[in-house]
Structure 1
Amino acid sequence: MTVTARRATIFALMAALIAATRLHHFAAIPDASWAVFFIGGFYLANWQRWAFPALMVLAVAVDWFVITSQGLSFWQHYCVSPAYWCLVPAYFALWAGGGLLRRHLSASAPIAIGQLVVALVASVAVCHLLAQGSFYWISASVAEPTLAGWWKNYSVWLLPYMRVAALYVGAAAMAHVLLTRVLPKPATAARPLHAD
């Protein structure tokens, strides 16, 4: 499989994961969007110019579909305030975290695991800061915002978001190890021996 075919397959899987899980924001299937943007930054950094915007458009389209299929106006929904557009830099923080991990990933497995954990935790913390912080401070949903109220909201929701992202990224990391190190590589044709 060529590099382009591999990237296209990964992009298709990422898009399918957003579509399948974002439809059920509060259902038993947790939303994989945060993990998808982190994983996308790791695998699709060379396609960032179009892959990141395409996944963002898909996420917004799924939100629009979910909200309007309930008979509600997308623009008047509780979650769609001016703060909604802060999801672009928030998700880009995840993408950048995945890209940084890719550029600095160690060949040593224990070090690579540590790098993955640090990159994911930092990316999710920044994403949550931008997404939750903008919703708290910019949307009209909080009547009297305070620093203490914001911090309580941030800290209460950080761990659940971290846990969901870690589950998906952990599954992707295991699949990566399985596909690149455990499964046998396809045999290459032996070079013909030339008589001297």
Structure 2
Amino acid sequence: MAIATTRRLAIFLGLALVMGVTRFHPSLLHHALWDASWGVFFLAGFWLRGQGRWAGWTTFALLMAEAVLVDYLVISGQGIDFWSHYCVSPAYWFLLPSYAALWVGGSWLAKRQQGLNLRTLGLAVATLLVAEGVCYLVSNGSFYWISASVPAPRSFGAWLGNLGDWYLPFLAGTSVYVALGAVLHVLATQLAHASQRSGQIRH
């Protein structure tokens, strides 16, 4: 139990670090790294959904608080009032259901995957596309229709055009980080199996 708890803590800290670094966008990393937030929430749902009823959602809340804190530090660090920033409006709080969609997608996948095989790979791709699509629709749609930063008049056609402009970059960035997480997951699983086989041989 202690080993599992230590492993979960290490995974959480690793994901939080990756999100913090890439979301903060220091000058040396700006335009060099995609924001990993979307991938982090999907992977966190897969790896940290929790043994108990509230364990996973507590982790989600901590990552959500980190995301807001980083945004606050970045904006205030530019000498701008947080609430007057272009990206902060009533639509900003729709990041909560947006990121929750990614978390739920990762958690759903974890409950239904059946080991390292082509079925799991196909299920992972389909789940990521659905979860990322819901996240994108909610975050982009809320910003377009609610934020005062989008000038009137608004139209459904213009929104569809905006969706098309940004969808692939967001999908690409999220997919890269999830793919990296998948590679780490495969390596860790193979190492664990190798360790188990080695222990059985010694006995």
The answer, yes or no, to whether TM exceeds 0.5 is yes
Which residue of 129, 133, 148 maps to 2:141? 133
Which residue of 20, 25, 32 maps to 1:28? 32
Structure 2 partner of 1:185: 195
Stretch of structure 1 that moved more, 182-191 or 151-160: 182-191
1:91-133 Cα distance to aligned partner (Å, 9 max, x none): 0000000000001112351111101100111111000000000
- Measure the CA separation in 2 of the matches of 1:76 and 1:58: 20
SS in 1 for 2:143: helix
Structure 1 partner of 2:8: 7
Residues 182 and 5 of structure 1, relative CA distance in 2, 3 Å threshold:
closer
Which residue of 173, 177, 182 maps to 1:173? 182
Q: Percent identity?
A: 42
Which residue of 91, 102, 111 maps to 1:94? 102
Please list, as runs of the form range in 1=range in 2, the aligned pairs for 1:31-110 lying within 5 A after superposition.
31-46=35-50, 47-107=55-115, 109-110=117-118
- Measure the CA separation in 1 of the matches of 2:86 and 2:115: 46
- Measure the CA separation in 1 of the matches of 2:187 and 2:76: 40
Structure 2 partner of 1:151: 160
**Cα offset, 1:3, TM superposition:** 1.1
2:120 counterpart of 1:112? yes
Instruction: Give the letter for the 1:149 counterpart.
Output: A
Instruction: Give the letter for the 1:83 counterpart.
Output: A
Instruction: Give the letter for the 1:94 counterpart.
Output: L
2:123 counterpart of 1:124? no
SS in 2 for 1:185: helix
Instruction: Give the letter for the 2:117 counterpart.
Output: A
**Cα offset, 1:56, TM superposition:** 0.3
Structure 2 length as normaliser, TM-score?
0.89
- Measure the CA separation in 2 of the matches of 1:166 and 1:53: 23
Stretch of structure 1 that moved more, 138-147 or 78-87: 138-147
Q: Is the 8 A contact 2:116 2:186 kept in 1?
A: no
Q: How many residues align?
A: 191
